[in-house]
Amino acid sequence: MASPFEYYKRINEEVFSLHPDVTLKISVLINQPVETRTHETFINELHNEFVTDKGAITTNIKYKYNLSLSPKRFYSYGLLIDWENYADLIDFVDDIVYLGDTKNDLSPFKIVRNEFDEVVNIKCDNTISKTIRLEDAFGNSIEARPTIISYRNNTKVYPGVRLVFGEQNDLAYDVTLKRFRGFQRFLMTFNPLHLASNMINYLVTTPLLGTNQRVLK
């Protein structure tokens, strides 16, 4: 049997994976407590109806949503993305992609070719390397540092960036520039409001509420 709808407070969905351990996630907040100017608290429910003295009914749907870019299992290091810094996220990604363009004179990446014009190596010049930084309103930060990425059982190397979360370089993840170009293209068409409204529609129509539950301790 489905649980009462009013107990649901949040809907999460992972929308893009930059790395197996770094994801962009959207969260839709519903039925959240709100404090009034007189310091009274009430639940701002998703569905509200207002009836006039003539019997006309107006329905309001109330919810909030935001994005987060964070390492899995270390969510406290993640960045909160809302409409105040959403443009900063796009600039952050654009700057990384631009920095990785070897046709750009400011790029630290240099392609080494043989006499047959075949790519034999890719190098990163640390003397002109540039760190790109993104912050949220709470002081959480992420830095992107150009690097060369190699994998086990693979002789090829790939240009990329090392994503560093935290002021003390606490967590670091290597992401290829090819993946960032895919992320850039994704953000070109991504509509957070459209997805948030679809998630609300899923919540109020799915027959699965109350199933597959795990108790968090």
Q: Residue 149's pLDDT is what?
A: 87
Question: Which H or E element spans position 17?
Answer: strand 10-19
| Closest by CA position to 80, among listed 29, 30, 136 | 136
Task: Quote the pLDDT of residue 30.
Answer: 92
Beta strands in 116-156 (DSSP E): 119-124, 132-135, 141-150
**Both tokens of residue 21?**
């351990």
Q: What is the DSSP letter of 153?
A: T
Residue 119: what pLDDT?
A: 65
pLDDT at residue 2 in the model: 42
Query: Domain extents for the chain?
Result: 5-196
What is the spatial distance between Cα 124 and Cα 147, in angstroms, rounded to a whole number? Answer: 6
**How far apart are the two ends of the chain, measured CA to CA in Å?**
23
> Residue 4 has what pLDDT?
61
Asked if 69 contacts 86 with a C-beta cutoff of 8 angstroms, the reply is no
pLDDT score at 102 = 81
Task: Check residue 3 and give its pLDDT.
Answer: 46
If you search the block for the tokens 């290091």, which residue do you land on? 77
HSE (CB half, 13 Å, CA atoms) of 41? 3
pLDDT-flagged residues of the chain (< 50):
1-3
Q: What does the pLDDT read at residue 1? A: 40
| 160 vs 64: CA distance, rounded Å | 34
